[in-house]
Amino acid sequence: MKVLVIGSGGREHAIAAKISESPRLEKLYAAPGSDGMSSIAECIPYKVTDVTSIVDFAVKEKIDMVFIGPEVPLLLGMADALLEKGIMVLGPRKDAAELEGSKAFSKGIMKKYGIPTGAYEVFTESQDALAYLETVSYPTVIKADGLAAGKGVIIAENKEEAQSAVRSMMDDRVFGDSGAQIVIEEFLEGEELSLLGFTDGKTIIPMVPSQDHKRIFDHDMGPNTGGMGAYAPAPIGSSTVMEDAMEKVMKPLIAAMAKEGKPYCGVLYAGLMVTDQGIKVLEFNARFGDPETQAVLPLLDSDIITITEAINRGTLAQTEIKWKDKSAACVVMAAKGYPGSPVKGDIIHGLEDEVGGTFVFHAGTVKKDGIFYTNGGRVLGVTALSDDLKNAIDLAYQRVGKISFEGCQFRKDIGAKAFK
């Protein structure tokens, strides 16, 4: 099979690495891909938003299957356009990707179908939102409705912070039209869990539970980032929690989307809060999580091409998906200045210094004259696979210790919550 991966981050590198293990793979492409991925995929210089060029390329090169990494092309209808040409895709159609594209849509589905989530209200006028802030308890959560590159959620500790978030989203439009509508949501306390599932619109099969580390500093301090590390399987995803997540969230959601005439196929990501009152959904994403995927996919023991074929044929119920009896940890190495304004162009030392059981996914790097330089906020995802989680974490940090670049930031407590 000829396969194309859309995207250029650590997540896409991890997806490409899994695809390249498939005996069914004939040739792998990535658009735009990255210098780090170029040893396993031929990189085609199209932006992920250039749906027309990518679809034309896929038709011309007779690509059989396309894995869409990021959310933006999904919301531009890339899956729809490829499916129309008879090309298999991993990623939902535009109307189903609205689960991630609009928080009001996603909350509305959850409310209508009784899927557990925090209480909320939707606003399209800032004065109504500001009036509502007089009635809520704090902290409270203000969310821009549309995509905001992971920055559209503000946990407001008090009324003043909440007012300023509402004004900057709705009046100043700091997230553009994504803030034309906002959701104000009850603050939920608990431990977060990322649960991803493969689904063909009728059946959903969970991946191993994982946990992200959103804040930049150790002990969950400092501003939110795209994610500073992940590990899997996460013990917070106990068998009871997983059963609840499947029976109360994942299966009902897939049934709801089918009933709404927007069948959801691809990878569904549920961001869950495990609270004293049971699990509640924080958000749905229409794709693999990043960095979760860098820890989850190395544990997949089945052929991802065969799984994706079953998703496209609607035969997932008859497909067995196996996982390695191992654990994985991924430590993100980020650039100086991240998550604000990351510094680019520093030499990355020590990439060639290997540690058994570890591998490095490239996120923000560029290669010039044989040397890798930093080229983004999250630079590398250093991942290790081992028989137990503690060992995987140790190995990942051994490898991290061999890599260096100016101002490098990484968390030293990835996976520590698993041992609480």
Kindly tell me which residue out of 227, 364, 376, 381 binds ligand GLY, with binding defined by CB under 6 A. 227
- In the bound complex, what is the minimum distance in angstroms from residue 323's beta carbon to ligand GLY? 20
Q: Which stretch binds ligand AMP (CB under 6 A): 57-65, 180-188, 231-239, 376-384?
A: 180-188
Regarding 191 and contact with ligand AMP (CB under 6 A), the answer is no
User: Which H/E stretch holds residue 99?
Assistant: helix 94-101
- In the bound complex, what is the minimum distance in angstroms from residue 284's beta carbon to ligand AMP? 9
Q: Which stretch binds ligand GLY (CB under 6 A): 139-147, 283-291, 323-331, 393-401?
A: 283-291
Kindly tell me which residue out of 77, 252, 271, 314 binds ligand AMP, with binding defined by CB under 6 A. 271
Query: Contact at 8 Å (CB) between 32 and 47?
Result: yes
- In the bound complex, what is the minimum distance in angstroms from residue 326's beta carbon to ligand AMP? 26
Which listed option, ligand GLY, ligand AMP, none, makes contact with residue 188 (CB within 5 to 8 Å by class)? ligand AMP
Regarding 263 and contact with ligand GLY (CB under 6 A), the answer is no
Identify residue 399 by its one-letter amino acid code: R
Preceding amide of 291 cis, omega within 30: yes
Q: Which stretch binds ligand GLY (CB under 6 A): 176-184, 246-254, 287-295, 355-363?
A: 287-295
Q: Which stretch binds ligand GLY (CB under 6 A): 285-293, 339-347, 373-381, 390-398?
A: 285-293
Q: Distance from CA of residue 110 to its chain's centroid?
A: 20
* Secondary structure (DSSP) of 169-224: IIIS-TTGGGGSSEEEEE---SEEEEEEEEE-SS-EEE---BEE--EEEGGGEEEE
- In the bound complex, what is the minimum distance in angstroms from residue 192's beta carbon to ligand GLY? 10
Sheet holding 65-68, edge to edge: 42-43, 27-32, 2-7, 65-68, 88-90
Regarding 161 and contact with ligand AMP (CB under 6 A), the answer is no
Residue 188 to residue 279: CA distance in whole angstroms: 10
Tokens describing residue 126: 């800032």
Among candidates 78, 108, 104, which has minimal Cα distance to 93?
A: 78
Regarding 152 and contact with ligand GLY (CB under 6 A), the answer is no
Residue 47 to residue 356: CA distance in whole angstroms: 35
Residue number closest to ligand GLY, CB atom:
289
Residue 343 to residue 351: CA distance in whole angstroms: 19
Regarding 185 and contact with ligand AMP (CB under 6 A), the answer is yes
Residues that bind ligand AMP (CB under 6 A): 118, 141, 143, 153, 155, 185-188, 192, 214, 271, 282-283
Tell me which residues touch ligand GLY (CB under 6 A). Answer: 150, 212, 227, 285, 289-290, 292
